[in-house]
Structure 1
Amino acid sequence: MSRWYLGIDTSNYRTSAAIFDAEHVEWQNSGRLLDVPDGAIGLRQSDALFQHTLHLHEMIAGLPGGIGKEIQAVCVSTRPRAVEGSYMPCFLAGENVARSIAHLLGVPLYTCSHQQGHLAAAALSAQALSWLGTQEFYAWHLSGGTTELLHVAPGADGLPVAECIGGTTDLAAGQLVDRAGALLGLHFPAGEALEQLAKQSQSKERFQPKVADCRFSLSGMENKIRDLCARGTVPEDVASFTVRTICAAVERATAQAMERKKLPVLCAGGVMSNRLIQRRMHERFGARFAEPVLSGDNAVGAAVLAAVQHGETLL
């Protein structure tokens, strides 16, 4: 018999609802990117909150009809990270709906951070769900707003406890990708289009950011990319330069972490869906990844964490 759990995530870039069956380890996700005007590289929180409020019911309607009577619990992301002071108004849209659903169904409501949801979705996709409750591991969370190397350990409440031990000190990898994409005339978010451009390049050129204590800066890279564009560098080579530079920084930071303690590596977030970065990280560190559909923002991780917090034992 199926044991379904509902997850909801209203991040800064996607409205998403999902169900997860803890019995058969199956899931369904219904999500849509927020509408970003051409030429823009993001949204104001008020605009994101409005779009989530407008479309969340459509995402829930995209899940199987009548599934409500089989829902065991609901989990919703309520903040970017599980740290004090982490807050974005856009998560209120999902939280309000989740609380209402849980009340009407008479089931428990659990919460998680957006980052914890990413980790759970990546673990599900990489067939590493058991990691969440049994062992320590390193995790990269590379997205539009986050570039963090995390030391993750099982938490008493079933949620993964993530301590940031490295990553960028300023510009996030996803921000750099989107700004490079804007310079090249690509639509926001630019990750997939930039990757396709980079595949067409024969250039191996990259910039090697200074990495110390697993941390690095990417802010100067935007100017270097602007310079490449101003010199007439072809878009394919600009894209390759951007991706290879991010990859170089991530590799060096991971290597420095491994010098402290060797642990398995899990990679989450939309930027980590890039095949070049995945190939390098797998070759050097045996890293595991989420498939592209679970790399970006999604509610699947929240649904998984509903099951975990409800006491399900997952393989």
Structure 2
Amino acid sequence: MALCLGIDTSNYTTSVALFDGVSGYNLGRLLDVPEGALGLRQSDALFQHVKHLPEIFAALRAEGRLDGCIAAVGASTKPRWVEGSYMPCFLAGESQGRGIADTLGVPFFPCAHQQGHIAAAAWSAGRPDLLDRPHLAWHLSGGTTELLYVQPDGVSVWAQKLGGTSDISAGQLIDRTGQLLGLPFPAGKALDGLYGQADVCQNYTVKINDLTFSLSGMENKVRELVERGTPPANVARFVVDTVVKAVLRTTDKALDQYPGLPVLCSGGVASNSALRAALRDAVFAPPQYSTDNALGVAILARRALTGGSRL
């Protein structure tokens, strides 16, 4: 069966995926972030992607994953599919993807990182039908907290921002909390682990205006808690519960405007267990496909190759 190859080079992960219309496989590697740092400069991220991609392809070859016929190549070329959206780190995946496609004589299909997240989440959750119908989607990651109205756009998906944060993302708040607590970056998994150890349940109610809310003030509140000697588990629960409550309330408000639409959650923050428990009716990808990955890129390449919704 012909394979479609997908490449994604975000500011956090280098990943390559293969999709044959039935099954998919993703191999990724987190970028190396210096201890105590909150992410990387674009130049450093781009340099690491250039180094990591040949290593990932070599590993795929060693696993026998590249033995089939590659019929198309896709890559995420920008953060969002809107005019002016640009990050240099995506040049690494795009340049290699175009080079591979030209070498093999197969088509190259660009997409946005956000579109890939939506496709990977829908497919891995067992809901590929969402790619062919309107729905609401949360993109909750280290750099993005956006509530989207998603609808089919030919063989891809088009996403319109409805709301989310007006300043720092949920992932940034979580990572900055992790830095204050001395946790490794990215801090989502560590905060999730601390959450269940908390002996105090409290949160801060953020104000929501037109499906938009602010999290920047929370960073100062977290700093105050840490400076007062609040146990790390209680700090973790305070932050997670605040984020979860804001997402849940915003979702409910959006469903008042768009009743009956399914809600899909993607992005690394969507791996959080408390969020999954709170949004019981939402569609969540398995944790390994919530974080940055290239599977959605490969899925969209397959859809573009076949010319329609059938994978």
Q: Which residue of 2 aligns with 1:276?
A: 274
Q: Which residue of 1 aligns with 2:54?
A: 57
Task: Report the Cα distance in structure 2 between the residues aligned to 1:247 and 1:314, rounded to whole angstroms.
Answer: 35
2:86 matches 1:87: yes
Letter in 2 for 1:139: A
Which blocks of at least 5 consecutive residues in structure 2 are unaligned?
Answer: none
The one-character-per-residue Cα deviations of 1:211-254 (angstroms, maximum 9, x if unpaired) are 12111000000000001111111000000001000001101111
Q: Residues 66, 105 of structure 1: CA spacing in aligned structure 2 closer, same or farther, 3 A cutoff?
A: farther
Task: Report the Cα distance in structure 1 between the residues aligned to 2:290 and 2:58, rounded to whole angstroms.
Answer: 23
Q: Residues 165, 137 of structure 1: CA spacing in aligned structure 2 closer, same or farther, 3 A cutoff?
A: same
Residues 15 and 31, structure 1, Cα contact 8 Å, conserved in 2 = yes
Letter in 2 for 1:230: E
SS at 2:279's partner residue? Answer: helix
- TM-score of the pair, normalised by structure 1: 0.95
302, 306, 311: which one aligns with 1:307: 302
Deviation of the 1:4 alpha carbon:
1.2
Which blocks of at least 5 consecutive residues in structure 1 are unaligned?
Answer: none
SS at 1:220's partner residue? Answer: helix
2:177 matches 1:180: yes
Residues 3 and 68, structure 2, Cα contact 8 Å, conserved in 1 = no
Deviation of the 1:314 alpha carbon:
3.5
Q: Which residue of 1 aligns with 2:249?
A: 252
2:294 matches 1:295: no
Aligned length: 307
Q: Where in structure 2 are the equivalents of 1:1-315 lying within 5 Å?
A: 2-22=1-21, 25-63=22-60, 64-65=63-64, 67=66, 69-133=68-132, 135-156=133-154, 158-262=155-259, 263-282=261-280, 286-310=281-305, 311=307, 313-314=309-310
SS at 2:246's partner residue? Answer: helix
Letter in 1 for 2:185: F
Residues 7 and 298, structure 2, Cα contact 8 Å, conserved in 1 = yes
Deviation of the 1:200 alpha carbon:
1.1
Residues 8 and 16, structure 2, Cα contact 8 Å, conserved in 1 = yes
Residues 115 and 141, structure 1, Cα contact 8 Å, conserved in 2 = yes
Letter in 2 for 1:180: T
Deviation of the 1:173 alpha carbon:
0.5
Task: Report the Cα distance in structure 2 between the residues aligned to 1:198 and 1:65, rounded to whole angstroms.
Answer: 40
Residues 2 and 68, structure 2, Cα contact 8 Å, conserved in 1 = no
Deviation of the 1:69 alpha carbon:
5.0
SS at 1:42's partner residue? Answer: coil
SS at 1:145's partner residue? Answer: coil
SS at 2:128's partner residue? Answer: coil
Same amino acid, percent of matched pairs: 55
Task: Report the Cα distance in structure 2 between the residues aligned to 1:202 and 1:112, rounded to whole angstroms.
Answer: 45
SS at 1:6's partner residue? Answer: strand
Find runs of 4+ consecutive structure 1 residues off by over 6 angstroms: none
SS at 1:170's partner residue? Answer: coil
Residues 9 and 76, structure 1, Cα contact 8 Å, conserved in 2 = yes
Letter in 1 for 2:231: V
